A and B are shown apart, each in its own frame.
Chain A
Amino acid sequence: MAETEITTTEREPEAQPEDEPRPRSFREMLRSAEIDGRLAGMLIALAIIWVGFHFLSGGTFFTPRNLWNLSVQTSVVAIMATGMVLIIVERHIDLSVGALMAAVGMVMGLLQNDWLPRAIGFDHPWTWVISLVAGLVLGALIGGFQGGIIAYLGVPSFIVTLGGFLVWRGVAWWLASGQTIAPMDSNFRLLGGGAEGTIGGTWSWIVGGLACVGIVALQVMKRRQRAKYGFRLRPFWVEIALGVFACAAVLGAVAFLNRYYLPPLLAEQRGAPPGAQISLGLAFPVLITLAVTVLMTFLATRRRFGRYVYAIGGNPEAAELAGIKTKRTVLRTFMLMGALVGLAGAVQIARLNAAVSSLGTGMELSVIAAAVIGGTSFSGGIGTIPGAVLGALVMQSLVSGMVLMGVEAPLQDIVVGAVLVAAVTLDTIIRRRAT
């Protein structure tokens, strides 16, 4: 402010020249702490759901065993939801993800069950890598193909991916004439979690510790960067409180999940002394989901690509006039979505230990719902990746909780549908008030 050369005369004296006045309400306090209000709200909603189900289900919900299962069950939808956010932010939609998952899953299944064993033998150590990479590449190619039609030929994404929804399901059936392909490669199966596909208690603590180091390092880096330019910093106590809260949450989650132990019989099979408790630790699909979330958040917020995705969603004409290659960006977004579908498909067939042509039936709607519950707006330009992952967790929590309560399947659908509409209605009202 000191280097102001041209000033207007009507400048009013301000208490704090750099920013908004001192926080008065809770909302302003949140803003001065730069906390994402919507994300905080979702966490609170999730907490309410968990506590509510815990009591309604007679104390079976908030247990290490249930939350461990919940974390694994959420993975597949959450992985795809991170990509769907960017698609919806760009004012597009992808209805083909469930069917595409089946087709790509079938190819990965055939690769490890049929094609690769003939070439390099069954359960070859490279089988899982080749299958996984093939799935990612194939998913990206098909996603890119659909994205190309959408971006360069100008066909609405709803139509193109509705076509894909039919085509890829048919392809998945055709690849094996509707047969179930099983079993999967034993290494590949680890991607799906289960008793084998976990990293154990010790490594879970190490991962949690690294996550804490990462959180603190990010905070320090951001603070230093802002200090370098002389910008306003978060109040120091807020920074500390946020860091402590985040680390406590991470370590608390690890501690809680680590209390899910191997069944005694399995533990003894692994040579543990009788009565010893062996933690399963975090499952691979959960680790994959966390890594995807971090990576996609980075891509969305710290890279040009993400910035362009949001710019296109906010104002397509402005993005074009700013010289952004909008068509290429849209194509890349669909490619990315395809690759994520490949990854989610790998997790899904590994979990099932089988590839079936009905894989992921109806999942496109769960993925879209997760993104939308997570705050993604269909009018474009708004949505976050952590929000979508939380959205997936909220949906899975509802389903899981109702299963524990013994709610019948049709009623489950009714509840999830109602919650979806209610969440978006609430979000719309809050957003309208905010602006």
Chain B
Amino acid sequence: MTATVPVETARRTPLVELRDIRVAFGGVHAVDGVTVDLYPGEIVGLVGGNGAGKTTLIRTLSGAHPADSGRVFIGGEEVTIDTPRAAKDLGIETIYQTLALADNIDAPGNMFLGREVTTRFGNLDSTAMEDATRKLMNRLNPKFQAFVTPVNSLSGGQRQSVAIARAVHFNARILIMDEPTAALGPAETRQVRDLIKQLRAEGIGIFLISHDIHDVFDLADRISVMLQGKLVGTVNKDDVTVDQVLAMIIMGKKPGEVTQSDIAGLH
């Protein structure tokens, strides 16, 4: 499935390689033998319809739900990711679709959840955490000012900013973004897109899950398409058209297999 990797990236070691990943819930194969990879400084868009298995696949990498079988390589080394903690220790940060925020806790508390800054006596250093959050938010979303209110009183966009800030702050090597702009307005979406590009320029590898095909086309270098738990294929964005990707998503047909009448049927 990696035949379409560009020549210049093929020579390097992939940052992430998920090989033959399988996850089943009861008798349902949510992810059925999927192999994808990700290189440093690259954005791989993961697309597919509802229930295609995108989120389940990515949850195996973030440690939220370990795979039933398959192998995971980070920087060429095989690893076991069985907890969210293990993923974070490997430099994998995730922005979940649900945002995974503790609603009753303020923005700095959420940003540092599980990785609190403490004084030398082991007490929470709230001011240091607030300071770090303010500095980062200044960069990500300068309008954000709600540093002491619980995040449940924030708008969808503000909450998303907190989730993004949390993923960015800890110097991730690998970023997983599950619908990062779903709750955002146009201006904020543009901001997040700029941020994603900036992170790519810094050499971070990003898995981007999105239902918005234009989002993916704007940002991704390669696109992996899933359908009913299986990988349809991975393509270079520059080699395909939006229609061809849509054909992959809906019919499970790779660009070579699609006929003109198929394309016509999409519209």
Contacts and interface: CB of A to CB of B under 8 A. Distances in A.
A147 to B, nearest CB: 21
Interface in B89-107: 94, 96, 98-105
Given A321-B96, A435-B153, A6 B101 contact: no
Given A1-B138, A8-B187, A231 B127 contact: yes
Contact of A318 (B83, B100, B138): B100
B142 A315 contact: no
B124 A5 contact: no
Interface string A379-391: 0011000000000
A307 B130 CA distance: 15
Interface residues of B, number: 41
A313 interface: yes
A11 B96 CA distance: 28
Secondary structure call for the A interface: loop
A231 B113 CA distance: 22
A19 interface: yes
A12 to B, nearest CB: 9
B124 A304 contact: yes
A228 interface: yes
Contact of A19 (B109, B122, B145): B145
B100 A322 contact: yes
Contacts of A231: 127, 130-131
Nearest to B101: A318
Contacts of B150: 314
A228 B113 CA distance: 23
Contacts, number: 101
B50 interface: no
Interface in B220-262: none
A303 B123 CA distance: 5
Contacts of B83: 323
Nearest to A224: B127
Given A321-B84, A323-B84, A314 B127 contact: no
A307 B124 contact: yes
Contacts of A319: 102, 113-114
Contacts of A324: 113-114
Interface in A206-230: 225-226, 228-229
Contact of B142 (A8, A19, A301, A311): A8
Interface of A: 1, 3-8, 10-11, 18-19, 225-226, 228-229, 231, 301-304, 307, 310-311, 313-315, 317-324, 381-382, 435
Interface of B: 62, 64, 83-85, 88, 94, 96, 98-105, 109, 113-116, 118, 122-124, 127-128, 130-131, 135, 138-139, 142-143, 145, 150, 152-153, 187, 191, 194
